[in-house]
Amino acid sequence: MSIVPFDDRDGWIWFDGQFTPWREAKVHVLTHGLHYASAVFEGERMYGGEIYELTAHTERLFKSAEMLDFEIPYTVAEIDEACKQTCAKNGLDDCYVRPIAWRGTEMMAVSAQDTKIHVAIAVWPWPSYFDPEEKARGVRLAWAKYKRPSPETEPVHAKATGLYMICTVSKHAAERDGYADAMMLDWRGYIAESTGANVFFVRDGALHTPTPDCFLNGITRQSVIRLAKSRGIEIVERHIHPDELPSFSECFIVGTAAEVTPVASIGEHRFTPGQISLSLMDEYARMVRRQTTVAA
């Protein structure tokens, strides 16, 4: 399959307040964000002309920047509007939306308090994150080599670029071994999340999900919890040890890219996509397309 590089595409990118032709949206090789991971980003989806939970994503972008000790030089409302305009400028009403903010070139050292903060927004068509046929029967996950770190070691609740380094390494290793993704433990040995999505398990009709105390409490995760509660499904949020996996009947992962994806296996543990995971997959897909907020 031919791959079209992301720097060689048609379209427009919102860059520091104005639209720039896609191929001209560039940064210098001595950008602080490239060398020191001083960058935060969001992953959003537009469905039928509306970006799902847009303001929640933008607010998280600003909180992430605050955790990395820099201030985005726009308001939440301005970034919301820029995201919408970028989709319109590119003629897209179903797409992935990627806002990113980073430190610039003014200083090239660990200390970079006088760097300019840049913001860009790119959008592009995005099909299913996993193969549709594989998704329907459940994806297979390996165990990740690396663990989600303690909150005492890094800003684990920021959606920061540097925190995804171990995710890329783990997903690459899983794909080389024929898996779709990898499941990560936290530094204590509890189940955490996959490389880019939160996880839920089913036991006796209730949903069990790890407490997000060292990883992102994903916006899709929050939406699925609201959706499940509206159906009367019990939510049990707690630490989950890998030894408990044989006691769960179903498993699924959730995220902006993954949406709701059933899981067939995690390492040696098997699950059968069933009524709860498959119905939530379908209901979430309907919900985001009708852009309604499920009551808490």
Judge if 109 and 26 occupy the same domain.
Answer: yes
Of 90, 97, 102, nearest in space to 122 by CA: 97
Q: State the pLDDT at residue 129.
A: 65
SS3 content of the chain, % helix, strand, coil (to 5): 30, 30, 40
Judge if 162 and 229 occupy the same domain.
Answer: yes
Judge if 228 and 271 occupy the same domain.
Answer: yes
In whole angstroms, how far apart are CA 66 and each of 121, 150, 157, 186, 228? 19, 19, 11, 24, 32
Judge if 76 and 169 occupy the same domain.
Answer: no
* DSSP at 186: B
Across the chain, mean pLDDT equals: 95
Q: State the pLDDT at residue 290.
A: 79
Residue 188 falls within a domain, yes or no?
Answer: yes
The residues annotated with a catalytic role in the active site are 159
Q: State the pLDDT at residue 134.
A: 73
Q: Structural domain tally of the chain?
A: 2
Residue 5 falls within a domain, yes or no?
Answer: no
In whole angstroms, how far apart are CA 112 and each of 72, 91, 196, 267? 15, 38, 29, 42
Q: How far apart are CA 127 and CA 67, in angstroms?
A: 32
Which structural domain range is residue 35 located in? 12-124
Q: How far apart are CA 143 and CA 189, in angstroms?
A: 12
- Dump the DSSP string for 101-164: EEE-SS--SS--TTPPEEEEEEEE----SS-HHHHHH-EEEEE-SS-BPPTTTS-TTS-BGGGG
Which of 124, 148, 167 terminates a domain? The answer is 124
CATH code of the domain containing 281: 3.20.10.10
Judge if 177 and 55 occupy the same domain.
Answer: no
Q: How far apart are CA 213 and CA 211, in angstroms?
A: 6
- For 167-198, the pLDDT digits (tens) are 999 999 999 999 999 999 999 999 999 999 99
Largest CA distance in the chain: 57
Q: Please give the structure tokens belonging to residue 212.
A: 């997000």
Residue 275 falls within a domain, yes or no?
Answer: yes
Judge if 271 and 158 occupy the same domain.
Answer: yes
Q: State the pLDDT at residue 296.
A: 36
Judge if 147 and 107 occupy the same domain.
Answer: no
pLDDT in tens, the chain (296 residues): 568 899 999 999 999 999 999 999 999 999 999 999 999 999 999 999 999 999 999 999 999 999 999 999 999 999 999 999 999 999 999 999 999 999 999 999 999 999 999 999 999 998 766 666 777 789 999 999 999 999 999 999 999 999 999 999 999 999 999 999 999 999 999 999 999 999 999 999 999 999 999 999 999 999 999 999 999 999 999 999 999 999 999 999 999 999 999 999 999 999 999 999 999 999 999 999 876 444 33
Which of 124, 144, 161 terminates a domain? The answer is 124
Judge if 35 and 166 occupy the same domain.
Answer: no
Q: State the pLDDT at residue 45.
A: 97
Of 212, 119, 125, 139, nearest in space to 179 by CA: 139
Judge if 191 and 166 occupy the same domain.
Answer: yes
Q: How far apart are CA 149 and CA 249, in angstroms?
A: 28
- For 35-82, the pLDDT digits (tens) are 999 999 999 999 999 999 999 999 999 999 999 999 999 999 999 999
Judge if 115 and 224 occupy the same domain.
Answer: no
In whole angstroms, how far apart are CA 169 and each of 18, 69, 164, 196, 214? 34, 26, 9, 12, 19
Judge if 145 and 285 occupy the same domain.
Answer: yes
